[in-house]
Amino acid sequence: MSEMLNGKVNTEVSSDEKCLSTPWFNVVARTWEGSEQPYYVLEQVDFVGILTFTSDNKVVLVKQYRPAVQDFTLELPGGHVDPGETPELAAKRELLEETGFESSDFSLLGRLSPDVGRQANSLWCYLAVNATPAKEHPIIPDEDIEIISVPYDGFIDLCLNGQLYHAPDLAIPLLMMIKKNKVGVKTLLRSIIESQ
């Protein structure tokens, strides 16, 4: 919450105080000149999400238990960007580690902010096409993941019926559709708005 000074937002941070530090995130109390109370920010590492199409045009998903929601979730492959690692290398590594698939046709769809109100990290969104099982698949002992491949129509159904509900995983296919088919998306949006 920055203060308005002479009609302009004061964005100059006067202090950042780390309130809590964990291996996964830090909570920082951020204040501005003239602010009455701190604004709390979650500092986390950047992460990647990969919309992956196999060579037979199926979408690769992972199913795993998530303690935060106390449930098994369907998700796109993804994970954290390690220190010193580029987002693209992290995406390729995570795809291989989580699914055993690899792709030589990787492209960056974009960089998103998961939550501009609280989080200070980025989600790097990738598209991998013509993915095939790798000859060698490193086993990650701490990850208990089931790999699921579904046709694209089935993937859309999973999104529509709420079985795939992780917000970043819904943003990535939308970003792909917008970037790869701008005219079609504009026409679709226009027809939806006009029919209301």
- Span 56-102, pLDDT tens digits: 999 999 999 999 999 999 999 999 999 999 999 999 999 999 999 99
Give dist(CA 172, CA 128) in Å, integer. 12
Note the pLDDT tens digit of each residue in 28-49: 998 887 778 898 999 999 999 9
pLDDT at 186: 75
3-class secondary structure, 11? coil
3-class secondary structure, 104? coil
pLDDT at 142: 56
Q: Is the whole model's pTM more than 0.75, yes or no?
A: yes
Reported as type and span, the H/E element at residue 42 is strand 39-43
Nearest to 92 by CA among 105, 73, 74, 109: 105
The angle subtended at Cα 42 by Cα 40 and Cα 45, nearest 5°, is: 160
Domain ranges for the chain, please list them.
Answer: 4-43, 47-176
pLDDT at 2: 45
Q: Is 138's pLDDT higher than 70?
A: no
pLDDT at 161: 94
Q: Are 46 and 121 in contact (CB under 8 A)?
A: yes
Q: Is 1's pLDDT higher than 50?
A: no
Q: Is 147's pLDDT higher than 90?
A: yes
Question: What percent of the chain stands above pLDDT 90?
Answer: 66
Over residues 100-129, the mean pLDDT reads 94
Over residues 118-132, the mean pLDDT reads 95
47-176 to CATH, choices 3.40.720.10, 1.10.287.3510, 2.40.50.180, 3.90.79.10? 3.90.79.10
- Joined tokens for residue 96: 């291989």
pLDDT at 6: 54
Estimate the crossing angle of helix 152-160 against helix 167-180, to 10 degrees: 130
Q: Name the more confident of 84 and 178.
A: 84
